[in-house]
Amino acid sequence: MSATFTKAMARNVFYGGTVFSILLFLALTFHTNWKIPQRTPTETPSLEVARGKLLWETRNCIGCHTLLGEGAYFAPELGNVYQRRGPEFIKIWIKAQPTKVPGRRQMPQFHFTEQQLDDLVAFLKWTSEINTENWPPNIQG
């Protein structure tokens, strides 16, 4: 870099560029958060959905599965599992774990009550109705 471009100039460009980027990002964030209620099924999820989300979190589902493409890549995408499998299959599947098929990837048994299974399904249904710009590309996730 030439001697006419000094360290002080570089520093000022840094502060200016960073502050500008932060402000632009905050403006976009503000607009996005204003829009999110229109892009999710309900702005504030029902108690049932909120309980389901807590179950999702405290069983660390994200440690194997993806949800809207985020998480671990060890087990199927669950953002659209409600459409792919339907509520009854989801509940039966969770209750049947682990499959204990030798050599197959195993999911733990969580001993959920019927109420908890319904909460979890409600959360997955709510999630499946988020406007994701048509992602994933097909039902397989």
Partner 1 sequence: MQLQYKSQAVAKPYFIAAIALFAGQILFGLILGLQYVIGDFLFPAIPFNVARMVHTNLLIVWLLFGFMGAAYYLVPEETETELHSPLLAHVLFWVFLIAGVLTVAGYLAVPYATLAELTGNELLETMGREFLEQPLPTKLGIVVVALAFLYNIGMTLLKGRKTAITLILLMGLIGLAVLFLFAFYNPSNLVKDKYFWWWVVHLWVEGVWELILGAILGFVLLKITGVDREVIEKWLYVIITLTLVTGIIGTGHHYYWIGPPGYWQWWGSVFSALEPIPFFALTIFCFNMVNRRRRQHPNKAATLWALGTGVMAFLGAGVWGFLHTLAPVNYYTHGTQITAAHGHMAFYGAYVMVVLTMISYAMPILRGREVNPERSQVLEMWSFWLMTVSMVFITLFLTAAGILQVWLQRIIPNPQPFMAVQDQLAMFYWMRWLAGVVFFAGLAVYLYSFFAKDKPEAIEAGEAHPSVT
In the range 31-70, which residues lie near partner 1 by CB under 8 A?
Answer: 31-33, 35-36, 39-40, 43-45, 49-50, 53-54, 56-64, 66-70
Min CB(120)–partner 1 separation in Å: 13
User: With CB under 8 A, what is the number of residues at the site for partner 1?
Assistant: 75
Q: Which of 43, 140, 122 is nearest to 85 (CA)?
A: 140
Which of 18/83 has CB closer to partner 1?
18
- Choosing from 80, 121, 125, 141, the residue that interacts with partner 1 (CB under 8 A) is 141
**Cβ-based burial of 132 (10 A; exposed 0-12, middle 13-18, buried ≥19):** middle
Map the footprint of partner 1 across residues 101-140, applying CB under 8 A.
101-106, 108, 110, 126-127, 130-133, 135-140
Q: What are the helix (H) ranges across 1-141?
A: 7-39, 47-58, 81-85, 87-96, 114-128
Min CB(89)–partner 1 separation in Å: 13
Min CB(90)–partner 1 separation in Å: 15
Q: What is the CA radius of gyration of the chain?
A: 22
Residues with Cβ within 8 Å of 73's Cβ and at least 6 positions away in sequence, in order, are 66
User: Terminus-to-terminus CA distance in the chain, angstroms?
Assistant: 48
Map the footprint of partner 1 across residues 74-103, applying CB under 8 A.
74-77, 98, 100-103
